[in-house]
């Protein structure tokens, strides 16, 4: 999809957290899955900051701090390391860099995943605000990443994906105005927070 240069540019950090993928045991699928979905969902010009790192709490925290404080990312999405296993420390590392915790994101991700597997209650994804950036932990599997971001629009009743709330959240913390492809994910904003529709 082509981007419109009249739209606000956005810097997005994408972090895949996996001991085995980061050491080359197998190919990382998290970063390509996130970039594919976001590249289709957003009209804005995107500058990517990608990181592939091991399941180490201090490394994860340091990476998140760098992406927000030094690279000036507006949005950071992580994938992997959110289960109950001993090496799953992504939520702890994320909470350690938080200014505010946004529990609704994790609640909705688990609600979406419970439509598919009962083990969704074992996932511990969190979302936080650091400075003027939103950081969200996502599941590890590409299919689950897309489901949690996009939701289940065909379900009765439809299940909202978490990304519908991301643009307005970023508005509220002083970030760029994100415009989405409504066929993939319609961003929700109160009427007084919406910019006039562009003439295409």
pLDDT band at 159; cut points 50, 70, 90? confident
Domain around 165 = 10-189
Higher-pLDDT residue of 145, 153: 145
Q: Is residue 195 part of a domain?
A: no
Q: Is residue 170 part of a domain?
A: yes
Q: In this structure, what token pair is assigned to residue 119?
A: 């083990």
Nearest to 75 by CA among 130, 20, 3, 6: 130
29 CB contacts (<8 Å, ≥6 apart)? 21, 142
pLDDT at 86: 95
Q: Is residue 103 part of a domain?
A: yes
73 CB contacts (<8 Å, ≥6 apart)? 11, 12, 13, 49, 67, 133
Q: Is the pLDDT reported for residue 4 higher than 80?
A: no
123-152: b or e for each residue (b if 16 or more CB lie within 10 Å)? bbbbbbbbeebbbbbbbbebebbbbbbbbe
d(CA 68, CA 115): 33
Higher-pLDDT residue of 85, 155: 85
Range with the poorest average pLDDT among 3-7, 58-62, 110-114, 154-158: 3-7
Q: Is residue 196 part of a domain?
A: no
Q: Is residue 161 part of a domain?
A: yes
> What does the pLDDT look like over 162-172, one tens digit per residue?
999 999 999 99
Nearest to 90 by CA among 48, 131, 128: 128
Q: Is the pLDDT reported for residue 3 higher than 70?
A: no
Q: Is residue 115 part of a domain?
A: yes
Sign of torsion over alpha carbons 78, 172, 162, 120? positive
Domain count, the chain: 1
d(CA 189, CA 200): 21
Q: Is residue 200 part of a domain?
A: no
Give the pTM.
0.94
> What does the pLDDT look like over 34-78, one tens digit per residue?
999 999 999 999 999 999 999 999 999 999 999 999 999 999 999
pLDDT band at 156; cut points 50, 70, 90? confident
Q: Is the pLDDT reported for residue 183 higher than 70?
A: yes
CATH of the domain at 123: 3.40.980.10
Q: What's the chain's average pLDDT? A: 93
Q: Is residue 72 part of a domain?
A: yes
């Amino acid at each position: 999809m082509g981007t419109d240069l009249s739209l606000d540019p956005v810097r997005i950090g994408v972090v895949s957290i996996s001991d085995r993928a980061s050491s080359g045991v197998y190919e990382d699928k998290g970063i390509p899955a996130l970039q594919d979905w976001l590249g289709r969902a957003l009209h804005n010009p995107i500058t990517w900051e990608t990181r592939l790192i091991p399941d180490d709490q201090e490394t994860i925290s340091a990476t998140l701090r760098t992406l927000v404080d030094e690279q000036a990312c507006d949005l950071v999405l992580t994938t992997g390391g959110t289960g109950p296993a001993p090496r799953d420390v992504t939520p702890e590392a994320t909470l350690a860099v938080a200014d505010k915790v946004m529990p609704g994101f994790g609640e909705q991700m688990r609600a979406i995943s419970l439509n598919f597997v009962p083990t969704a209650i074992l996932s511990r994804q969190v979302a936080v605000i650091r400075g003027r950036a939103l950081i969200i932990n996502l599941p590890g599997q590409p299919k689950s990443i897309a489901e949690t971001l996009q939701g289940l629009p065909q379900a009765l009743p439809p299940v909202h994906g978490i990304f519908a709330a991301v643009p307005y959240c970023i508005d509220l913390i002083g970030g760029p105005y994100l415009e989405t492809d409504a066929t993939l994910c319609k961003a929700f904003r109160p009427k007084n927070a919406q910019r006039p529709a562009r003439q295409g």
